[in-house]
Chains A and B, each alone.
Chain A
Amino acid sequence: MRFYRTLLTALRALQRNVLRAGLTTLGIVIGVAAVIAMMEIGNGSTLAIQRTIATMGAYNLLIFPGNIAAGGVSYGSGSSMTLTPPDADAIVAECPSVITAAPIVRTRTQIVYGNRNWVPNTMYGTTPAYLEVRDWTEMAEGVAFTDRDVRNCSKVCLVGQTIVRELFAGESPLGKEIRMQNVNVKIIGVLQPKGANMMGSDQDDIVLAPWTTIKFRVTGTSVSTPNLSASTAAASTTVLPSQVYPNTSLTLYSVPSTVQQTDTPAPVRFANVDQIVAAARSAGQVSTAIDEITSLMRERHHLRGDMPDDFTIRDLTEIMKTMSSTTELMTNLLLIVALISLVVGGVGIMNIMLVSVTERTREIGLRMAVGAQGPDILRQFLTEAVVLCLLGGIFGIGLGRATSWLVRVLKHWPTASSLGAIVAAVLVSASVGIIFGFYPAWKASRLDPIEALRYE
């Protein structure tokens, strides 16, 4: 009741001088509008920048097999063969911080089309999840291979723009077959251009195929081709005559008899992978994801408490830092702009409230003479200031949203609405009202009624 009366009194007092109230509020309106517009445009830009940086792999985690050492000689990172494709599936299924993960089998070999040949910088055998991890799902042409292709060892692949240029001289490679290690592989899709990565290597110089195809058909390290032991090395591009002319090949090992085969079942497709890439849900969840993956991998690999990890996980710290510093910079910039404009607006409010108190000295005297106490007067003027600021805040939100909408429509800048900004704007404008309205209101409440009544 009392609050309602005070509010009513404040509104009536403001109503007495609508133009001045409006002009006073303008400072806050513009301040809040600037904050809202800046927040929305800034948020949009931040999101766009984050998305761009994310395509560089900012959220990515690279899981490598650990090293093995024999007789004191370490074979370096990636020398143990403990990572398997089911590990990748388990990571997706059991780590909530991970969106997706894909196993990678690397190779480096010559590819041939017609009378041209080329050795791609990157040849990955993987799953379709890899495209999601790298944010590369949009094809320039054609379609991506599917999980079914992975299961079936289909002889299909995707190629990057550099391959198109080098092997096909710009004509569409869709449906064409290229040869890798004498395996004909059909191109079903062309990847979008991605350019060089941060270290300058060409990301478009790439061939992606189902990992089963690379593992079992191209590099051929599987029990289905037991006699191609010479070409098991991933980087080998030498083709033995025995592979080209299988009929004339020598049998280096004795062929096991049926009894021997049933007694010692061959380990089917010992399918280790060279690497697993996983994508965390967001920059903040990268470290959680690392923890989750570590404990999952230790469990899956049956590592007891005191045994060292047989894998290593790396994140892209450098890119992450770039990203967080960009975001931080943006946020700080916006905060500073917001603060400046709101302080300017607040000073405007204080100025006008001081003028108003001086101008209405007689009114204050009268109100005191009929029984208003200091706190009543304080409350009245404070309410006026807060009402002014809140009205300014509300108009400012409207104006700010309109501005950001205009910017989006006319200049095609990305914007993202932010509820937080609106809530903050309302809270801040109310606090500006209280902070900058307090001094004038306090001054008014301290007036002596006798002096105030006599004031000319």
Chain B
Amino acid sequence: MDLIELREVCKTYHLGEVDLPVLKSVSLCIAKGELVALMGASGSGKSTLMNILGCLDHPSAGQYWLDGEEVSRAGTNERAILRNRMIGFVFQNFNLLPRTSALENVVMPLTYCAESLPERQMRQRATEMLRKVGLSDRMDHQPSQLSGGQQQRVAIARSLVNNPRLLLADEPTGNLDSHTSEEVLQMVAELNRSEGLTVILVTHDPGVARHARRVIHIHDGMIEKGPETS
């Protein structure tokens, strides 16, 4: 069964009088456990598609099923709950809370869970995640005391702490040097392999896309290569 199914999704921005179609009838399926790269030049609608996939935005038309639930009709609060439960985000600029320990950064998404855990259990889960990304000795460090690669690993730990179905990485290596990039991508690939986590890498770097088993090119608001599995 497909984790993600998009059917004829359109997104049009209204800038005053002018309608600006960004996504033009995108249809797409991503199965559970896939590692997909989403590629496209800037202005291609790549970010918009990612926002829709990440439930940050809703499509103007078309349907979007995420794990069997129709997201395209969900309201703001339902989408927030979906993001919390289903999706982990990794950003280009890490987006860690400044002057806050790595552990607290990882705990943060748990505090917005509908079923709130006791403090101790939250910390336990966060510690586990940090160990998984190999930062068990850096838990009390603040982001400014960590290297870029370490920061991104904290961000990955944070994105995984809620056991999401989908990891959405937006240019995860954009701010990293090639060596660290490789490390981070290896880790993501490893997570995909060992835990069956569905990963979407949004990037414009073919070097990054190489790690994916399937590449989706988006150009001018449309998908260039069909949703065939490689």
Contact = CB atoms under 8 A, between A and B. Distances in A.
A177 interface: no
Contacts of A371: 80-81, 83-85, 109, 112-113, 162
Contacts of B85: 371
Contacts of B77: 373-374
B155 to A, nearest CB: 10
Interface in B53-84: 54, 56-57, 76-77, 80-81, 83-84
B98 A450 contact: no
A370 B76 contact: no
Interface residues of A, number: 24
A367 interface: yes
A370 B100 contact: no
Given A12-B104, A376-B112, A450-B51, A369 B98 contact: no
Interface string A389-405: 00000000000000000
A368 interface: yes
Contacts, number: 64
Nearest to A16: B99
A369 B57 CA distance: 11
A375 B102 CA distance: 25
Interface string B95-111: 10111100010001101
Report which residue of A16, A373, A376 has the largest number of chain B beta carbons within 10 angstroms of its beta carbon: A373
A20 to B, nearest CB: 12
Given A362-B95, A366-B95, A16 B100 contact: yes
A372 interface: yes
A363 B56 contact: no
A165 to B, nearest CB: 79
Contacts of B116: 1-2, 5
Given A16-B98, A374-B76, A369 B89 contact: yes
A53 interface: no
B111 A9 contact: yes
Contacts of B54: 369
A103 interface: no
A35 B215 CA distance: 67
B163 to A, nearest CB: 13
Given A9-B111, A450-B57, A370 B158 contact: yes
Contacts of B162: 370-371
Give the interface centre of B81, B89, B159 by most chain A CB atoms within 10 Å. B89
Nearest to A368: B80
A407 interface: no
Contacts of A15: 99
A82 B165 CA distance: 100
Nearest to B80: A373
Given A368-B80, A369-B56, A453 B112 contact: no
Interface in A1-57: 1-2, 5, 9, 12, 15-17
Contacts of B76: 373-374
A5 B111 contact: yes
A12 B101 CA distance: 10
A452 to B, nearest CB: 10
Interface centre among B76, B95, B98, B118 (most CB of A within 10 A): B95
Nearest 5 interchain pairs by C-beta: A371-B84, A370-B109, A16-B99, A371-B112, A373-B80
Interface of B: 51, 54, 56-57, 76-77, 80-81, 83-85, 89, 91, 95, 97-100, 104, 108-109, 111-113, 116, 118, 158-159, 162
Interface of A: 1-2, 5, 9, 12, 15-17, 362-363, 365-374, 376, 449-450, 453
11 contacts: A2-B116, A9-B111, A366-B97, A370-B112, A371-B162, A373-B76, A373-B77, A374-B76, A374-B77, A450-B56, A453-B91
